[in-house]
Amino acid sequence: MEIKLVRDGVDPTIVVINGFLSESTKDVNDWLSVVDELYPENKVVHFTWPSSSVKRILTKVLGKSFITVLMKKSVTLPADAVKEFAVEWKRSLKKTREAGEWLANYINHDDGKYVFMGHSLGARVSYHALSGITRNESVHSALLFGGAISKSESWSKILEVHPDTLITNCYSENDLVLRYLYRMGTLFNNTPIGLEAIEPKGKSLIYNIDLSNIVDGHTDYKVEDVGIWVASMVKITKNEGGGFSALSTEQAGWFRRTIWRVSNVFS
């Protein structure tokens, strides 16, 4: 696991965290289309973690197929691929906790301030990191996109430890990966935050943004339109190098409906 510099800039530092099958991904410029709408002047780093990769799965599948051919047995590539995909998914789910603990330890021993941006299992890594961070006010906010983590997790406990940390959940009802594959992988035991809003309790700093009108699938979050839309849902400030505070859920809903009506008038 490693923290890699994407670009230098002001504080707080933006930590982008990819999801499943991103282990070999080096180019994270797709994140900048979102980051630049919220934090155009900020330092950006990429947290890499063992999230598996397509190459790993193919290597295992082809390796097994080669052995099968040598043993003069029938080759079942599709079935083997599905099986290995499931194995790597479960492995990556477990690795999110380890990755979160690593990131928490890194931040606990640093003196900077951070903003998390996690996609898919990257949102799960963010959750585990927040669970382990003990340094006060070290994480200004966490933006979670298509989060592959249960909405029933102990979010209230996270906010007890980090009462001033803003958590923004960006979700889409069109996410078929989370609706079917994720839920199958978790035996239909929970609903991920990437499909529905996290239910805030009390005066919590949890805000939900429904992006169903512009996000058609699980991989459609890291685009400029999402950055623009999220920026329209939050109030940009100059707090400590570009922090932001979100609109309330009611304000965000009103704002979204107003934009929708105006766009329909001129369409």
Q: Is the sign of the CA dihedral 27, 32, 34, 38 positive or negative?
A: positive
What's the average model confidence in pLDDT over 195-213?
85
Residue with tokens 């002001």: 10
Beta strand pairing call for 244-246 and 234-236: antiparallel
Lowest-pLDDT choice from 45-54, 79-88, 180-189: 180-189
pLDDT value at 184 more than 50: yes
Q: What pLDDT does residue 188 have?
A: 60
What is the model's pLDDT at position 259? 44
* Predicted local confidence at residue 72, as pLDDT: 43
Tell me the CATH number for domain 2-51+87-266. Answer: 3.40.50.1820
Rounded CA separation 38/33 (Å): 10
Q: Return the pLDDT at 35.
A: 96
Count the Cβ atoms, other than its own, within 10 Å of residue 72. Answer: 6
Q: pLDDT tens-digit profile of 20-65?
A: 989 888 899 999 999 999 999 999 999 999 998 877 777 765 655 4
Q: Looking at residues 182-197, what average pLDDT do you find? A: 80
Residue 10 main-chain phi, psi, to 5 deg:
-85, 170
Q: Could you read off the pLDDT of 106-159 as tens digits, one per residue?
A: 999 999 999 999 999 999 999 999 999 999 899 999 999 999 999 888 888 888
Q: How far is the C-alpha of 87 from the C-alpha of 175, rounded, in Å?
A: 22
Within 10 angstroms of residue 35's Cβ, the number of other Cβ atoms is: 24
Residue ranges, CATH 3.40.50.1820, the chain: 2-51+87-266
Reference 207, options 234, 238, 236; nearest CA is 234
CA distance 186 to 2: 28
